[in-house]
Structure formats: structure tokens, C-alpha cells
């Protein structure tokens, strides 16, 4: 019984993580599209730009 509860809890945590990942992917895709359209960037450059900016602020 206890193992079943642990398995159910682990499965729910995994589902929650997957939902967050899907939501993040949607936001990243929207941001990439905005950068591609607004800045004339290709998909790779649009993905890298925010990451490079984030690293610049971190130092």
C-alpha cells in the first residue's frame, strides 16, 4: 500500500514536470518567433540571443 502511494506521488510529480516543460516550450517558441520576426534572426540565433543576454547579466 505504501509503495503504491509512493508510485502515485512520483507519477504525479513527473506529470507536473512535463506540464511545466510544455508550458516553457510554448513560451520559448513564442519568444523565438517574436525575435525572428522583429530582428530578422534565424531560429538558432533567436534561441541563442536571450541565453547570451542572460549570461551577460549574470557576470
Predicted pLDDT of residue 21: 94
Predicted pLDDT of residue 51: 82
Per-residue pLDDT for the chain (59 aa), expressed as one digit of tens each?
A: 889 999 999 999 999 999 999 999 999 999 999 999 999 999 999 999 988 877 766 55
Predicted pLDDT of residue 9: 95
Which residues contact residue 42 at a Cβ distance below 8 angstroms, ignoring those fewer than 6 apart? 36
d(CA 12, CA 10): 5
Q: Please, what sign has the CA dihedral across residues 5, 11, 12, 13?
A: positive
Q: What residues does each domain of the chain span?
A: 2-58
Predicted pLDDT of residue 43: 95
d(CA 28, CA 17): 16
Amino acid at each position: 500500500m505504501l509503495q503504491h502511494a509512493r508510485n502515485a506521488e512520483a507519477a504525479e510529480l513527473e506529470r507536473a514536470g512535463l506540464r511545466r516543460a510544455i508550458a516553457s516550450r510554448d513560451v520559448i517558441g513564442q519568444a523565438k518567433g517574436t525575435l525572428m520576426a522583429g530582428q530578422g534572426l534565424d531560429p538558432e540565433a533567436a534561441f541563442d540571443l536571450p541565453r547570451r543576454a542572460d549570461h551577460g547579466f549574470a557576470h
